[in-house]
Structure 1
Amino acid sequence: MTVVVTGATGLVGTQVCKVLVESGRSVVAAVRNEAQSPAGTEPRFARLDVPGSLVKAMSGGTSVIHCAAVYAYDESRQDEIEQVNVEGTRNVVRAAAEAGVPRVVVTSSSVTVGSSAGPVVRDESGRLGDEPVPAYFASKVRQERVAFETGAEYGVEVVVACPTVVLGGPSRRLVPSNAILLRYLLDPTRSTYPGGCNVVSAGDVARGHVLLADVGVPGERYLLGGENLSWRLLHATVADLAGVPGPYAEVPSSVAVAVAAASEFVASRLGSEPLATRDEALTIGRYYWYSHEKAAALGYSPGSARQAVAEALAWLLASDHLPRWVREGLQPMAEVRSARRLVPRPL
């Protein structure tokens, strides 16, 4: 059994490869830079916008786990988000058909299920309603539709995975989910927000993807989440594990949008990615709470939100994203230190 993984160098894709390798399966990492492929995988060059390269990379595969995507809330990247998340997915499913691969698991997002004004738990029957819809959210809705339609057209089984807020590492870039924790550590006011989200570890999401590749029902989508938390409880968990105070005041969406606008302005001047964006800030106050019972019926069993936060903090503490002056002011709990992934280096 050979599983082909796109986006194999991303946060979720790296963990998917790790789970597959540890299970003893043959893994092909479809990557743009073969030198960056995860340990234990066979690197093959592929680009989402070059269908022929995808067909070659999928040759001999028995299933594809499509994790490649642009996960960003930056307005300037709307065209890229559409091309990669929607058209890239269309190309992947078509290439799978041409390569004779019968099944594709597509990584979407829980945001396609929508959100609620109050603390209501949603399941896979939900859809986006009248809430704010950033370009990333909209692209994921179209991605799912394109994946199922293309699969039906070309005779490929398509199963959709809908992860919630995925925390952890390693990751080659600071994705918006891990940035949630970093923003709190950098915030001198230790503010929190109304509303809430569902938190899950990258490792649990990866195991969920492999489960769906094995026994997921074609044509279905599955929420891969962990615990539903208010923003206050999430920030309190970050504070406790990192050894910092707070959270204190609850900041309304209007204030968060103003802060995000300032972040975007500074990032534009520095030529870097903003730590927060107005598109993301507009979602504050909503409850992105979800049930993973459907996936649990197949055997999915995620860990606690606290463990997910500890793993993410362990990665952040060892990354370049956390400034030294902030790192030196932290007093991380033993849970964070024990979650740190130790990588042997040559002597």
Structure 2
Amino acid sequence: MILVTGATGLVGTHLLVKLMQQNDTVRALYRTDTKKEYARKVFSSYFLEEKKHLFDTIDWVQGDLNDIPKLTEAFEGVTHVYHCAAKISFNPSHYKKLRKVNIEGTANIVNLCLIKGVEKLCYVSSIATLGESLSNAPVNEKAEWNPETPNSVYAITKYGAEMEVWRGVQEGLNAIIVNPGIIIGPGFFNTGSGYLFKKIYAGMSYYTTGTTGFVAIQDVIAVLHQLMNSNHTSQRYILVGENLSYKSVFTKIAEALHKTPPKKEASPFLMKIAYYAQSISHILFKTDRSIFKSSIRSAFSTTHYENDKIKKEIAYTFYPIEKSIQETATYFLNEQAAPR
């Protein structure tokens, strides 16, 4: 039995597709029926009508990472665990919630893996946890976390989660950590990179000058599956298909959506003004904030990531980001055109 946490998110849902195509026996942890039904819609888009029932053959368990009784129940008979669940936010006021889910929740997963004798754990982390290399050289798996860097609260708690996984390894757990870049994939347009498609479709004028790593959802799923079914253990792997500028990616997304690409370059000064304006509005009127100091730093930083280790160890070839953008945009446009 395979357990997938975060089964109704971008990675979790696409992973379920892969596992059901392989005829695996799967148990999926989910939090709300609304998210489950949306995951059904994304899942079903990969199958012909006669195969869509596979979604209901999954053993669905409703609960969260801090519900120990329900989590213990979910681990019964489980031999392998894909830990994809996480809370994503860059808002410093969400730190306690992020810590509860990302760090304490992962600790619970690790503890139950050890107690139940799980054969292997694959944990989906992020490139946000990787340190910066010296002299602007590409970042690889040897880069060390720097607590002095003004890291986002998301990065801090994902790093804390990794420490729980490595603690489990020290206690005898077979585990792998993957660090994906920004994941491009269809179906989830209110969070992560999917939100970019939504924003650009609505009309976005500005781009920032930063560069970072991007990866197609196909690559994340394929590598996770290969690593789980390999002898590789006690290792981390960076999953980045291409290092691209935000301007380049925004342009490709806009073109795929048949929209005008962002033409105006946002300056750090302009972003800081927007940050303070949002902060004042939040204090006075309790409005939501979308710009934070850590996100400004990321928007203008230029970081390149190596993918040599994973390409060498499992002879992997990455999917073109432009093709993934096209496929995601097509899904988005079809969703927009569908009857409400």
TM range, normalised to the smaller chain? 0.7 to 0.9
Residue 115 of structure 2 corresponds to residue 98 of structure 1: yes
Q: How does 1:23-42 map to 2 (within 5 A)?
A: 23-33=22-32, 36=36, 39=55, 40-42=57-59
2:198 to 177, 182, 187: 182
Q: Give the letter aligned to residue 5 of structure 1.
A: V
Aligned partner of 1:146 in structure 2 is 164
Residue 176 of structure 2 corresponds to residue 159 of structure 1: yes
Q: For each residue in 1:37-61, what CA deviation from the matched residue of structure 2 results, as whole angstroms up to 9, or x when unmatched? A: 7514211233211223222212112
Q: How does 1:246-261 map to 2 (within 5 A)?
A: 246-261=261-276
Deviates further, 91-100 or 293-302: 293-302
Aligned partner of 2:219 in structure 1 is 204
- Gaps of at least 5 residues in structure 2 are 41-54
Shift of 1:192: 1.6
Residue 19 of structure 2 corresponds to residue 3 of structure 1: no
| TM-score for both structures, normalised by structure 2 | 0.83
Cα distance change of structure 1 residues 288 and 272 upon mapping to structure 2, 3 Å threshold: farther
| Superposition RMSD in Å | 3.0
How far apart, CA to CA, are the structure 2 residues paired with 1:317 and 1:258?
Answer: 33
Shift of 1:278: 4.0
Task: Please give the secondary structure, in 2, of the residue aligned with 1:106.
Answer: strand
Task: Please give the secondary structure, in 2, of the residue aligned with 1:89.
Answer: helix
Q: How does 1:208-223 map to 2 (within 5 A)?
A: 208-215=223-230, 217-223=232-238
- Aligned length, in residue pairs: 320
Residue 206 of structure 2 corresponds to residue 191 of structure 1: yes
Shift of 1:310: 2.1
Shift of 1:265: 6.5
How far apart, CA to CA, are the structure 2 residues paired with 1:51 and 1:89?
Answer: 12
Task: Please give the secondary structure, in 1, of the residue aligned with 2:237.
Answer: strand
Shift of 1:186: 4.0
Q: Give the letter aligned to residue 248 of structure 1.
A: K
How far apart, CA to CA, are the structure 2 residues paired with 1:21 and 1:267?
Answer: 45
2:318 to 302, 314, 319: 302
CA contact (8 A) 1:196 1:230 kept: yes
Q: Which has the higher helix share?
A: 2
Aligned partner of 1:18 in structure 2 is 17
How far apart, CA to CA, are the structure 2 residues paired with 1:203 and 1:267?
Answer: 38
Task: Please give the secondary structure, in 2, of the residue aligned with 1:100.
Answer: coil
CA contact (8 A) 1:111 1:128 kept: no
Deviates further, 44-53 or 72-81: 44-53
Misfit runs of 4+, over 6 Å: 116-119, 264-272
How far apart, CA to CA, are the structure 1 residues paired with 2:217 and 2:283?
Answer: 30
Aligned partner of 1:286 in structure 2 is 301
Deviates further, 71-80 or 241-250: 241-250
Aligned partner of 2:63 in structure 1 is 46
